[in-house]
Amino acid sequence: MSIVITGATGLLGRQVVADLLAAGVPAGEITAVARSAEKAADLGVRVHVGDYDRPETLAGAFATGDRVLLVSGTDLGKRVGQHSAVIDAAKAADVAQLAYTSVFGGPDADFTLADEHLATEQRTLDSGLPYTFLRNNWYSEMAVYDITGSLARGAVVNNVLAEARIATAPREDYAAAAAAVLHTDGHLGVAYELGGDTAWTFGEFAAELARLSGGPVVHTTVSSAEYEAVLTGGGVPALLATILADVGDAISRGRLAGTPGELAKLLGRPTTPIAETIAKLLG
């Protein structure tokens, strides 16, 4: 039996592999699926060269009894087909668990970015494979990606309403949770709603950024169209800008504000506060 991580050279996949090793899982019992053997060479585990877009390369990646983490792809609009290739290969191999990095809220996630995740969940259910859905909330890294611009402008600009809250967690927390459900028992047939312990507003985010940086920073809400223009003006592709603005609208509707506490339970500790992520980046 192996623990198999797909997309293993991505930021999340790499962290999951590192967490499994740190938990004492022998390197010989971990397989990293990656498009490039060279990029995966430093992971220190077995490598299978496989590509979501080339289903034939996934043959042999999985074996009966394996525990598999399907890390969602990044090619928006292509992910259902890509994920289905992994699910089909895992089904053919009769794996013991297919864990998938999905979207917070599951069926209640009524925004465009969720569509491919929900389709993948359904595809997994249809396959009959023992599953674990890791429904991750927004990454804290996404909230701080434009921190330099926010400091320069003196404003955090987006289309999120002032009173809206979001319960983010950093990539390291989500990776640790994924590692936990892969190397411990009792997680089959479960959909975990994962996010931070505390939901915060972007006004609070701006205030913390101001406190840590020593300069004035406020939160400014603009229309969705204006926010898309800000994003595309900064080099974000048009499709992604539209999707991010749609997520902003979902945050305003309260879709990412839930704090069920399930991430902290899997971690065995509190989740990492957004202030710590800001401080780490500024440091």
Confidence bin at 76 (pLDDT 50/70/90): confident
Tokens matching residue 60: 């042999």
- What is the reported pTM? 0.96
Confidence bin at 113 (pLDDT 50/70/90): very high
CB atoms within 10 A of CB 239: 11
Q: 255 pLDDT exceeds 90? A: yes
Q: Which fold has domain 3-137+171-194+259-268?
A: Rossmann fold (3.40.50)
Residue 43: the pLDDT is 97
Q: Which residue has the higher pLDDT, 257 or 1?
A: 257
Parse the chain into domains and list their residue ranges: 3-137+171-194+259-268
- One DSSP character per residue, the chain reads --EEETTTTSHHHHHHHHHHHHTT--GGGEEEEES-HHHHGGG-SEEEE-BTTBGGGGTTS--TT-EEEE---S-TTTHHHHHHHHHHHHHHHT-SEEEEEEETTGGG--STTHHHHHHHHHHHHHHT--EEEEEE--BHHHHSTTHHHHHHHTEEEES--TT--B--B-HHHHHHHHHHHHHSSS-TTEEEEE--SS-B-HHHHHHHHHHHHSS--EEEE--HHHHHHHHHHTT--HHHHHHHHHHHHHHHTTTT-----HHHHHHTSPPPPHHHHHHHHH-
Q: What is the pLDDT of residues 46-57, one digit of tens each?
A: 999 999 999 999
227, 158 Cβ separation under 8 angstroms = yes
Average pLDDT, stretch 79-83? 95
| Residues of the chain above pLDDT 90, percent | 93
